[in-house]
Amino acid sequence: MAIKRGGLGKGLDSLISMADDFEPAPKKEDKKSASEKPKEVIKEVVKEVVKEVKVHEPLMVKLREIEPNRDQPRKEFDEESLEELKNSICQYGVLQPLVVVKKGKYYEIVAGERRWRAAKLAGLKEVPVIVKELNEREISEVSLIENIQRKNLNPIDEAMAFRQLMDSYNLKQEDVAEKVGKSRTYITNSTRLLKLPEKVRNLVAQGELSTGHAKVLLAVDDPAVLENLAQQIQDRNLSVRDTEKLVKIALNPRQMKLPIKLDYEEHFALLQDKLTNRMGTKVEIKRKNNKAGKIEIAYFSNEELERILDIIGLTE
C-alpha cells in the first residue's frame, strides 16, 4: 500500500508524516506512540535551540549621571587626541555608545571614558550608553580589553592592567593572554616592566624611553645604576643597539667605577686626552651628532693663549 505524503501548509502533523518516507512503518499496536514520539523530540529540540536573548538598546543618559571607573587601566589621556575626538563629536555626535553599569544613583563607565571626556569638552549634556549587568571581574576585563584595542595605552599602564587582572582574580599569564588576544610571551615581557624603578617607569610611560630600551635595562639589578643608564640613554638619544652595548659595559664589574662609554665615545675620549696633553690645558670635543661638533680649548691668560697658538703654528 502506497504511503500518503503530506502536502505543504498542513502543519506539524504533515511534517512528521514525511518522516515515514525514511523509516519503516510501525506496527499497528505501536502506531499511536510512534506518531507522538517525533512531536516530543521536536519540542525538546526547540527548547534547546530557542533561547531568550536580552537585547541591550542604547539609552540617552545625562553626563552628570556618569562617572569613570576608578580602576580604569588608562591613567593619562592625550590632550591633542581628546581635542580631535571633541571636534569629531561636535560635527557628528557620539557615534559609538558608552558601555556602563548601574551603580546606585549613577552609571559607571566600563568602556568609553575617552568619549565621555570628549563629550564634556564638546559641551554635550547627554550621551548614548548601553547598560549591561556585569560583575566586578567582567568590568575589569572589558575595560582592559577595550583600552588595549585602542592601541595607545602606554606600556606601563598596560603592564599594570595585566598585573591587576592577575592579582585580583588569581589568573595566570596564559589566562590573561587568552582573554586579551595576546601571546603569553607578550604578557610576560609587559609585566616585567613593572620591575623597573619608578623613575625609569615614568620615562617609559612618557615615551622618553621605548619598550625596547626598557627590556634591555631589565638586565641590570642595581636601581641606582639602572637609573643612571636610563638618564644616559635619554640625554644621548641612544638607540636600542647602543643601549645593549652600554648595559654590557655596566655589567662588567671591572668597569663599574669607570665612566661608561660606548666604543665610539671611547675613541673621542682618547683623542680629547691626547689634545689636552698636547696643549697643556683643558680641551673638550663636543659632538652635535656623528658628523659635526666643535673643539673647545681653554686658556687663562694672554701668555697661555700665545703658547697655544705657538703649538698650533699660528704665531710668526
Q: Which tens digit of pLDDT belongs to each residue from 232-258?
A: 888 888 888 888 888 887 787 555 444
Q: Please, what is the angle between helix 113-121 and helix 79-92, to 10°?
A: 70
CB atoms within 10 A of CB 99: 20
* Claim: this prediction has a pTM higher than 0.85: no
Q: How confident is the model at residue 151 (pLDDT cuts 50, 70, 90)?
A: low
**Edge-first strand listing for the sheet containing 66-67:** 59-62, 126-131, 98-103, 106-111, 66-67
* SS3 assignment, position 102: strand
Under 8 Å CB-to-CB from 143, ≥6 apart: which residues?
A: 69, 71, 72, 73, 110, 111
**H-type helices in the chain, by residue range?**
12-17, 31-49, 79-92, 113-121, 136-149, 155-169, 173-180, 184-192, 198-205, 211-217, 223-236, 240-250, 263-279, 302-312
Average pLDDT of the segment spanning 60-69: 91
* SS3 assignment, position 99: strand
Q: Which tens digit of pLDDT belongs to each residue from 268-283?
A: 776 777 777 777 788 8
Known active-site residue 244: no
Active-site pick, 113, 146, 158, 227: 113
| DSSP label at residue 148 | H
Give the number of residues written for the chain. 316
pLDDT at residue number 38: 53
165, with CB counted inside 10 A (0-12, 13-18, 19+), is buried
Share of the chain above pLDDT 90, in %: 28
Whole-angstrom Cα distance, residue 265 to residue 137?
A: 52
Q: Which tens digit of pLDDT belongs to each residue from 98-123?
A: 999 998 889 999 888 889 999 999 99
What is the bridge-based pairing of β-strands 293-297 and 283-287? antiparallel
